[in-house]
Structures are given as structure tokens and as C-alpha cells.
């Protein structure tokens, strides 16, 4: 393995730092139809789209188009951001109903009161895949903190009745723009009736500038995806810990999300990683259980379990201009922590068992190298011969 990265390493910016359009854009004759057609072609899906002035407006528009009744409960993930909760409350005086998450960050159907919901929001973190819809509910997906991405792998379907993304046209949130793609044509028709292109649309010149910045083989999206897929392959081969699935990913990933196996202590795993002087984001630092979820929960133990599930997810951040060495560091930060805690190759216990035995053969029974921590899996491998 490579040595620890030095503290003054000049790393390139991550996608989180690069998503906002900062350049000056000259006025043009761009029409709303021009911008819609461009972004629809970028998405590469035969679905209708709308461009609106900001993410908050997009959320409220979708709920109005859906026809939420005054005071109706609307589902949100237990770790939703405050802005989403506020959008729900300020749309027809609706009430956020916090839906718990399991270890794979899917919605928990046993959440009290969920059977009474008609509509649930998903709010994936940093381009992670959204949860599957719960039976009997409609799903809206809020990718307001990331950027849209065209299909880049199998099963890149849009899971919700509608999916929104931030366009990040400005650092001023009210002017940042948003894109909405509709899988439900009836919902699109209702939303289209509610907007005025002139009053409710974004800055069209900046929307086109952001489109040109993302599109094409050398665009921001292609570069970020190339880095992401190379890092993902390296993580699967070298670390072998659970990785967030590709199915359903519809926003540019901020980085590679991995789950710390149950056999490893999260704080120790995170500490070992950060001691390599490589950034590691901990999901509860980005999007923890919303405090109101704790105050209003009807099952505090279930909410605590959601928090424990969030604790186990880490993100190794990536940027579109990462060099090979930076990608290697982004992978190795997880590899080394997995090695130290004995959960390396957790998804390939046969390989982990072979590696464990090799260390014993090389260094003897008192060595301080890799020691496989997931004993149950090791016994299962031994039983299979």
C-alpha cells in the first residue's frame, strides 16, 4: 500500500465544490423551449421536463400539482434536510411525516402511520440511489444538492413520479434554478398548468451555460462519471466492502458511498481513514436524522435504529479533475481502514479467508497484520470447503 498522504497535498476540487456555475454569461436569444429541449436531450430519457427558478419552488410546485390537501401529511425521510421539511409545511400547511430508513437506506414500511400517506419524498445524499417507493404511495425524488446525470449504467430508471435536481446556476439559492423530469405524465400536465415560463423559469442563458458545461465527452458529467466508475471498480477489487448500488442513481455522485460492516466499530473505522489525511465524509455529518423526527416520532427505538444505519455510511469524495493518484488515495483511505479493522473483502469472504491464512503463513500466529473479523462468514466458507 502507498504511504499516508501528506497534509499539504494539492488535491483537485470535489464535485461538491465544482457544481455551481460561477462564470459570467452573456445575454442571448435563448427561449424557454430551447432550454427545455437541451436539458431533455441531456437526460437521454423520453420524459417531459420543466425548468423552474429554484429548488424550493420546484418542491412546492410538485406538491401543488399532486393535489395535496390542506393539512395533509406528506412523507419525508427521517434524515431530510430542514429546507425540504419547510417546503412541505409551507405548501398548503402540510405536515411532514418522517419515514424511517433501514441499513440499505430504503424506507421502512413499519414506520407508524406510513399506511396513511399518499405521497413520500426521497432525498438521496450526494447522488446516492433513492429508496424504492413504498406500496400504495407516490414518490417524489429531491436531488436538489446534486446535478442531473444521463443514464450511464443498466437500470438507471427514474423511480419517482417526478425527480428534481438543482441546476446550481448561482450561489444565491433563489436564483439557482431547478430541473424536473416527470415519469407521471398526468403530474406533468398539472404542473405545466401552474407555471408561467417568464415568471417561474430560471435565468435561461445561465441554464444553457450550465448545460454546455455538463454535456459531451469532455463535459463535467462525463469526467465525474469516469472518475466515479474507476474508483468504484478499484473499491470493489481492493476493499471489498459494501458499496451503494448503481440501480436508480440519477444524480451525479459526489463520491463513492460505502457501508462499514457491522463487525467494525464505525468511529474507529472513520478515525483510521481520516488519519491517512484523505477526506472522508460521514453521512450523519452531511444529512443526520432531522431533530424534528426525534421530537415527533411514534417509535423512538425505530428512529434510533435509523440513526444507527446512517452512522455506517461513509463517502469518499471525488472530483471531475481527479488525477490517478487522487483516485488511488480515495480508494486506499477505505482499503486501509477495512484492513486495520479486519473487514477487508467483506463481500468476498473466500478471498478474505485466503488472505487471513496467508498473513498467518508469512508472519506467524502473533503477527499484527490483517486478521479477519467476520468470523461467521469465515466459518461458512470453511463449511463449504
CB atoms within 10 A of CB 208: 17
Hey, is 207 helix, strand or coil? Answer: helix
Q: What CATH topology corresponds to 15-214?
A: 3.40.640
Q: What is the reported pLDDT for 379?
A: 52
Selecting from 2.60.40.770, 3.90.1150.10, 3.40.50.300, 3.40.50.2300, what CATH number does the domain 220-343 have? 3.90.1150.10
Q: Which three cell numbers stand for residue 134?
A: 413504498
Q: What contacts 312, CB < 8 A, 6 or more positions away?
A: 103, 259, 260, 262, 266
Give pLDDT < 70 ranges for the chain.
Answer: 1-9, 376-385
Q: Which residues, listed in sequence order, are joined to residue 255 by a DSSP beta bridge?
A: 317
Q: pTM of the predicted model, to two decimals?
A: 0.93
Q: What is the reported pLDDT for 298?
A: 84
- Secondary structure letter of residue 277 according to DSSP: T
Q: What is the reported pLDDT for 10?
A: 73
Q: Which residues, listed in sequence order, are joined to residue 282 by a DSSP beta bridge?
A: 314
Q: What is the reported pLDDT for 378?
A: 44
Q: What is the reported pLDDT for 8?
A: 62
C-alpha distances (whole Å) from 240 to each of 119, 230, 307 are 36, 14, 24
Q: What contacts 203, CB < 8 A, 6 or more positions away?
A: 25, 169, 170, 175, 177
Q: What is the reported pLDDT for 4?
A: 56
Q: What is the reported pLDDT for 5?
A: 65
Q: What is the reported pLDDT for 385?
A: 47
Question: 161's torsion region: left (phi>0), alpha (psi -120 to 50) or beta?
Answer: alpha
- Write out the H or E segment, with its range, that includes residue 377: helix 375-383
CB atoms within 10 A of CB 266: 18
Q: What is the reported pLDDT for 155?
A: 79
Best CA proximity match to 280, nearest among 2, 3, 5, 1: 5
- Secondary structure letter of residue 107 according to DSSP: B
* Torsion angle defined by CA atoms of residues 308, 310, 313 and 315, in that order, rounded to the nearest 10 degrees: -150
Domain chopping of the chain, boundaries: 15-214, 220-343, 348-385
Best CA proximity match to 298, nearest among 131, 138, 114: 114
Q: What contacts 16, CB < 8 A, 6 or more positions away?
A: 126, 254, 317
Amino acid at each position: 500500500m502507498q504511504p499516508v498522504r501528506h497534509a499539504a497535498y494539492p488535491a483537485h476540487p470535489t464535485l461538491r465544490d465544482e457544481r455551481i456555475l460561477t462564470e459570467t454569461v452573456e445575454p442571448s436569444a435563448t427561449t424557454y423551449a430551447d432550454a427545455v429541449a437541451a436539458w431533455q436531450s441531456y437526460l437521454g430519457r423520453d420524459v417531459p421536463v420543466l425548468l423552474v427558478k429554484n429548488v424550493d419552488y420546484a418542491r412546492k410546485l410538485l406538491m401543488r400539482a399532486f393535489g395535496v390537501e390542506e393539512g395533509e401529511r406528506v412523507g419525508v425521510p427521517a434524515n431530510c434536510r430542514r429546507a425540504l421539511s419547510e417546503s412541505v409545511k409551507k405548501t398548503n400547511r402540510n405536515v411532514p411525516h418522517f419515514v424511517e430508513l433501514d441499513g440499505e437506506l430504503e424506507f421502512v414500511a413499519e414506520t407508524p402511520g406510513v399506511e396513511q400517506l399518499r405521497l413520500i419524498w426521497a432525498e438521496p445524499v450526494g447522488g446516492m440511489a433513492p429508496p424504492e417507493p413504498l406500496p400504495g404511495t407516490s414518490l417524489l425524488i429531491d436531488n436538489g444538492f446534486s446535478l442531473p446525470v444521463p443514464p450511464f449504467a443498466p437500470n438507471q430508471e427514474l423511480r419517482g413520479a417526478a425527480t428534481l435536481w438543482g441546476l446550481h446556476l448561482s450561489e444565491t439559492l433563489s436564483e439557482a434554478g431547478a430541473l424536473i423530469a416527470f415519469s407521471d405524465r398526468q403530474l406533468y400536465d398539472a404542473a405545466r398548468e401552474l407555471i408561467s415560463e417568464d415568471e417561474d423559469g430560471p435565468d435561461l442563458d445561465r441554464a444553457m451555460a450550465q448545460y454546455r458545461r455538463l454535456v459531451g465527452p469532455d463535459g463535467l458529467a462525463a469526467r465525474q462519471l469516469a472518475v466515479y466508475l474507476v474508483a468504484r471498480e478499484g473499491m470493489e477489487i481492493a476493499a471489498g466492502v459494501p458499496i451503494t448500488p448503481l440501480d436508480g442513481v440519477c444524480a451525479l455522485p459526489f463520491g463513492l458511498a460505502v457501508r462499514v460492516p457491522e463487525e467494525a466499530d464505525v468511529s474507529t473505522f472513520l478515525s483510521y481513514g481520516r488519519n491517512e489525511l484523505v477526506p472522508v465524509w460521514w453521512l450523519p455529518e452531511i444529512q443526520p436524522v432531522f431533530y424534528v423526527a426525534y421530537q415527533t416520532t411514534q417509535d423512538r427505538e425505530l428512529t434510533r435504529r435509523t440513526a444507527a444505519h446512517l452512522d455506517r455510511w461513509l463517502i469518499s469524495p471525488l472530483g471531475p479533475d481527479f488525477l490517478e493518484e487522487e483516485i488511488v488515495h480515495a480508494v486506499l483511505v477505505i482499503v486501509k481502514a477495512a484492513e486495520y479493522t479486519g473487514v477487508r473483502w467483506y463481500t468476498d469472504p473466500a478471498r478474505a479467508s485466503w488472505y487471513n491464512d496467508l498473513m498467518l503463513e508469512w508472519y506467524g500466529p502473533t503477527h499484527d497484520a490483517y486478521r479477519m473479523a467476520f468470523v461467521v462468514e469465515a466459518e461458512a466458507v470453511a463449511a463449504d470447503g
